[in-house]
Amino acid sequence: MAGRPWWAANELLAFLVELAALACLFWWGFALADNLAVQLLTGTAVLAAAVVLWGLFAAPRARFRPPLAGVLAVKALVLGGGALALYGVGHPVAAAVLGAVVVVNTALAETFRRRIAPAA
């Protein structure tokens, strides 16, 4: 990471955005019901589905490595889903901000990760 502060900062932001999206998905799932037990069940189910999907296809050490389009589709589903979930619980401005951060952060992360090394 030494010598690449922008890359490191963007990777940290990516991690924080992932956590925020997962929290928003749980919150949305929790808000779907009135009974506390059902709220916990739906929130946990939505969160678990997102975590499993992410872990299988989009995590740095994902079990399956689809082509870039597949990884971006999973990221759009989970991270974009987090922004939509935030909208769904009644925070449209925060959802728009999260969505914008997701798009910029993901574009920068993929650009940094796929940058061609200079010829020696």
Is the whole-model pTM more than 0.75? yes
Domain that holds residue 68: 12-114
> What was the pLDDT predicted at 8?
85
CA 18 – CA 74 distance, rounded (Å): 12
Within a domain: 57: yes
Q: Which of 91, 74, 113, 106 is nearest to 23 (CA)?
A: 91
SS3 32: coil
- Hey, what are 51's tokens? 């975590």
pLDDT in tens, 84-113: 999 999 999 999 999 999 999 999 888 877
Per-residue model confidence as pLDDT tens digits over 18-56 = 999 999 999 999 999 999 999 999 999 999 999 999 999
* Token reading at 84: 């939509």
3-state helix, strand, coil in the chain (%, to 5): 80, 0, 20
99 in a structural domain: yes
58 within some domain:
yes
State how many domains the chain has: 1
Place of tokens 């678990």: 48
Task: Give the chain's length.
Answer: 120
For residue 64, being part of any structural domain is answered with yes
Question: Is residue 7 situated within a structural domain?
Answer: no
